Amino acid sequence: MKDYKELIDKIEQSGEELFWQGGADNDQIKILEEKLKVKLPISFKNFLNEYGGGGVIDDEISGIESNNAELKTGGTILRDTLECRENFDLPNHLVVVFYKYQELAWCIDCSSRNNENECPIVSYDLFRRKVTNVIADNFELFFKQYLELRAGIDL
């Protein structure tokens, strides 16, 4: 996550408005894992520790708001994931990290881990109710791509 400060600065300098939900502690991340019945990868836990969630306004990454994993407000992982599970048959091994209501859901696939115990980020088609493709090999790469796209640069 240390490499992303430069990208975040460039986004802010471009005039984009950023919002971060505030860091989440390990106890709250554990509560989230228990509620969703998954084991989150370390790269995503690091993001939650540092930022909690958020990003560019109206395109925020789902997170833990106000260091409370049980909040079910818009933009929280718990609400976004449970809503997609209930309304769009999202499988239990997927955890929503980016959600546009009735448009798209990008998720961590907690059932698939590489040698570093990281999980891919996949696109879940809400209408066809299935995974359609892999967006990134892990959350760290996904976050970098997210920031680069919004900064309009390619590092």
CATH of the domain at 147: 3.40.1580.10
Domain that holds residue 112: 2-151
pLDDT digits (tens, 9 = 90+) for 70-106: 988 878 999 999 999 999 999 999 999 999 877 899 9
Q: Total structural domains in the chain?
A: 1
| Residue of 148, 140, 120, 145 lying closest to 45 (CA atoms) | 140
Kindly tell me if the per-residue pLDDT of 154 is higher than 70: no
* 62 DSSP assignment: P
Residue 155 has pLDDT above 70, yes or no: no
